[in-house]
Amino acid sequence: MYSSQMLLQFLITLPVLLVSLVFHEVSHGYVAARLGDNTAKQLGRLSLNPIRHLDAFGTLVLFLTFFGSGGNMLFGWAKPVPINPGRFSRMSPQRGMMWVGAAGPFANLLIVAASALLLENLTGLGEFITLALFRVFQLNVILMVFNLMPIPPLDGSRVVGGLLPPRAYMAWARLDRYGMLFVMLFLFLLIGPFNSVFGNFLLTLYRLFLPSFGF
């Protein structure tokens, strides 16, 4: 039996996560379009409508992890925006994918900064609004840090790939085929021995952006 507090937390968290994922994915497609690849635009993936970005299995995992952990964990994903690096006209596919990859975490960083600014400077928001804003801040910090990990096919691997020599980049890009295996291994480490490192890094960001909250 789930408590009303957990259900309220989920009803706040779900739309915040969906909106954050949408901004993350749309930013990838927007930068790709600026570089000359209109694939995402042609497929209607530059829309802010969450339904266009929902991944059925990723959404199911979101429900299972939240309620299966008693509200202590939330993990899910949206459909990746389709990118065709071969259509980049303003720079090489390698360098273009670096900027496309960086766009998603940068979008999350903007949301982190905006929500922190509101939390730090506005008073009398009420418990519900404060909780919702903090959830916006918290989830976008997690999305930003997680996606910046240099693990194929996460965004951090695109940034690393853009800095490699061309021959090394080709070998690095081929690792994408094992992407899900790498992500599952990382999640295992996140639950196990790497958990404290990841948690301490998140706590550092909380203290940096929300100094008055006393983390």
Backbone angles phi, psi at 124, to 5 degrees: 70, 30
Q: Which member of 13, 17, 23, 25 is catalytic?
A: 25
- Output the CA angle 193-196-198, nearest 5 degrees: 100
Tokens of 76: 């899910």
How far is the C-alpha of 120 from the C-alpha of 109, rounded, in Å?
16
25: annotated active-site residue = yes
Closest CA to 84 of 122, 132, 32, 44: 32
Closest CA to 108 of 65, 78, 137, 130: 137
How far is the C-alpha of 198 from the C-alpha of 145, rounded, in Å?
9
How far is the C-alpha of 212 from the C-alpha of 189, rounded, in Å?
31
Closest CA to 109 of 85, 162, 145: 145
Question: How many CB atoms neighbour CB 133 within 10 A?
Answer: 18
**How far from the centroid of its chain's Cα atoms is residue 211's Cα?**
23
Residues assigned a catalytic role = 25
